[in-house]
Amino acid sequence: MRSLAALVMLFASAACFAQADYAREKRWADEITPGLVVGDAVYLAQKSGHKFLAIYTEAAQPRAAVITVHGLGVHPDWALIGALRSGLADQGYATLSVQMPVLAATAQAEEYLPLFPEAAERLQAAVAFLKSKGHRKIALAAHSMGSRMSNFFLTGTPDSGIDVWVSVGISSGEFADPGKLRVPVLDIYGERDLPQVLKQSEARANVLRTLKGSAQIEVAGADHYFVGHESELVRQVRQFLDQRLK
């Protein structure tokens, strides 16, 4: 398992080979924002001045707020993540679904590693936005590549502002630098998930045993994208958040 230091060195050496495709982000935003039914488009700023899309959905008397993070190369209202952000809002959680850095559609998963620091910056901006709205308790719910980005953020940011992490089908199959995780984690994945997710489930369970309040759930019949099982995903996530964010 790679240490955080090794990952940082890898990111630094590879940075010149991969830069976020802001034009693709804009195309996603132009495509999805006109048709938003649940939530409002907001734009958060990075230190560079680049503004990225997020979708903020309020809830009446919210229990807490949840940042939702999509997987590789898609957008903050895509399929599973769209169902999660809207479903949790229906259950009393304000949600902020954040556009992560993307590459060209042909890019492979490992090409995304140099974008992790930028992803972490976006998540920190998302936390700041929710705090500005008065939210004191904040959870992070991320899928696939978004879970890997969230893992990097949580282990590299001691004062992350996150109280609970929900990791949905982490695409590497493992938690990087688990000794630096400091919050309860729900590791949830499908019975028919990616091979690496299934293969490393016991290793992740061993990590969870060291983190008070953590749990692991395999959803029967679900694949990596929870197609047809979105409502069960929302139900399981809501139950975990209800217990951990009292």
Domain containing 238 — which CATH number?
3.40.50.1820
- Mean pLDDT along residues 178-193: 98
What confidence category does residue 106 fall into, taking pLDDT thresholds of 50, 70 and 90? very high
CA dist list (Å): 48 to 118, 121, 122: 10, 10, 11
Residue 8 has pLDDT above 80, yes or no: no
Say which DSSP state 161 is in.
Answer: -
pLDDT in the model for residue 18: 73
Number of domains in the chain: 1
pLDDT in the model for residue 246: 87
Say which DSSP state 173 is in.
Answer: S
Q: 203: domain range?
A: 4-244
> Angle at the Cα of 242 (from 231 to 76), degrees rounded to 5?
50
Q: Which two tokens stand for residue 224?
A: 């990596």
Contacts of 46 by beta carbon, 8 Å cutoff, 6+ apart:
52, 118, 121, 122, 125
The per-residue pLDDT for range 195-216, each reduced to its tens digit, is 999 999 999 999 999 999 999 9
Q: 79-90 vs 230-244: helix axis angle to the nearest 10?
A: 50
pLDDT in the model for residue 56: 98
What confidence category does residue 85 fall into, taking pLDDT thresholds of 50, 70 and 90? very high
What confidence category does residue 82 fall into, taking pLDDT thresholds of 50, 70 and 90? very high
- Mean pLDDT along residues 58-83: 97
